Amino acid sequence: MSEPHAPDRYAVIGHPIAHSKSPLIHGLFAQATGQVMEYTAIEAPLDGFSTVVQAFRAQGGRGLNVTLPFKLQAFELATDPLESARLAGAVNALKFEGDRIYADNFDGLGLVNDIQRNLGVSLAGKRVLLCGAGGATRGAIVPIALQKPALLAVANRSADKAHQLKRDFAAHVALQTGGFEDLAGESFDVVLNATSTGLTQAALPLPAGVFATGALAYELVYGKGLTPFLKQAQAAGATHIADGVGMLVEQAAEAFAWWRGVRPDTRPVIDRLTVPLV
């Protein structure tokens, strides 16, 4: 009899990493699709990302998910960053083939897939607002723009940082940018919180009227219940609220399909990880 095939090795790398749901998610995907693979979590020292990645490759590792704070370092390490990674300037998935390190960023695509497939909200023709001008917003701009919204706006505490995104993405989308105070008198069908306030339990200085009647309010962090942003949205009459658990699972599914060539069903995993918004 032939020896059983050793499982292909994958992992998520970050600092800290103990909280990560990625091993559970990819384990469920592998089980559901019959893939012979193992997926673990690696906590790399803050000054040792590249060393840990190269050691993982040398031991036969096939791919990595990358989380905070290493998404920029992963971009620098890649030999072949794909277009979405280049536009985001950050990477959340690596694939190792020979001496090549391929890199992509599936965060924005995962977000769009969750909104449209799972929440049933089409972005076409909608007025969409991204709150925040950091890495999460950078990764979301082009995937959202490809859905042809009527307007895509970025607001940030520092208007200058938002305006820089307008310049950076000028070849791909005409962004409306400014500070939160510049939103006065405007309303949006989809409002996404891509700031860290969901983790710090701080409120955003959003003017009254930002949430249109029937708006979707989407908090990119997950598992934190009703964050101040979602409470703001509810108080303003938003009828549809969601956190980022679906985005988490959908971006994982994109990486899994990129690595394994098979697309897992995300619904059972989202249902398992969903925390009620109370």
Catalytic residues: 71
Quick one: DSSP state of residue 18? T
Q: How far apart are CA 258 and CA 94, in angstroms?
A: 10
Q: How far apart are CA 242 and CA 216, in angstroms?
A: 8
Q: How far apart are CA 3 and CA 213, in angstroms?
A: 61
Q: How far apart are CA 2 and CA 244, in angstroms?
A: 44
For 255, half-sphere exposure in the C-beta direction (CA atoms, 13 angstrom radius) is 36
Phi, psi of 165 (to 5 degrees): -65, -40
> In terms of C-beta distances under 8 Å and separation of at least 24 residues, what long-range contacts does 18-22 make, across chains too?
18/43, 20/67, 21/248, 21/273, 22/65, 22/67, 22/252
Q: How far apart are CA 176 and CA 199, in angstroms?
A: 26
**Residues 137/172, Cβ–Cβ less than 8 Å:** no
Strand segments, DSSP code E, in 44-88 are: 61-66, 80-81
Cis ω before 149 (30° cut-off from 0): no
Sheet containing strand 188-193, edge to edge, reads 176-179, 151-156, 127-131, 188-193, 211-219, 240-242
